[in-house]
Chain A
Amino acid sequence: MSVLKILPDIYSVGVVDWDVRNFHGHTYTTKRGTSYNAYLIIDDKITLVDTVMGSFTAEFIENIKQIIAPEKIDYIIANHVETDHSGALPEMMRLCPKAKIFGTAKCREGLYKHYYGNWDFQEVKTGDKLKLGKKTLNFIEAAMIHWPDSMFTYCPEEQLLMPNDAFGQHYATSERFDDEVDQCALMDEAAKYYANILWPLSSVILKKIEEIQKMDLPIKMIAPSHGIIWRKDPAKIINAYISWAKNETKPKVAIVYETMWGSTGKMARKIAEGIIQAGISTRIFDVAVTDRTEIIREMLDTRGFLFGSSTHDNDMLPAMAGFLELVRGLRPKNRVASTFGSYGWTGGAAKEMEVVLKEAGIDIASGGPSFKYLPDEREMKACYEFGSDFAKIIKGG
Chain B
Amino acid sequence: MAKYKCMVCGYIYDPAVGDPEHGQPAGTKFEDLPADWVCPECGVGKDQFERMN
Contacts and interface: CB of A to CB of B under 8 A. Distances in A.
B43 interface: yes
Nearest to B38: A143
A207 B42 contact: no
A207 B47 CA distance: 10
B46 to A, nearest CB: 11
Nearest to A142: B43
A131 B53 CA distance: 49
A54 interface: no
The secondary structure that dominates the A interface is: helix
Given A144-B8, A144-B9, A203 B48 contact: yes
Contact of A148 (B7, B41, B47): B41
B45 interface: yes
A144 B43 CA distance: 7
B44 interface: yes
A46 interface: no
Nearest to A149: B43
A106 interface: yes
Interface in B1-53: 7-9, 38-39, 41-45, 47-48
B40 to A, nearest CB: 10
Contacts of B9: 144, 148
A230 B43 CA distance: 28
A201 B8 contact: yes
B48 A148 contact: no
Contacts of A143: 38-39, 42-44
25 contacts: A106-B43, A141-B43, A143-B38, A143-B39, A143-B42, A143-B43, A143-B44, A144-B8, A144-B9, A144-B42, A144-B43, A144-B44, A148-B41, A148-B42, A148-B43, A200-B8, A201-B8, A203-B7, A203-B47, A203-B48, A204-B8, A204-B44, A204-B48, A207-B45, A207-B47
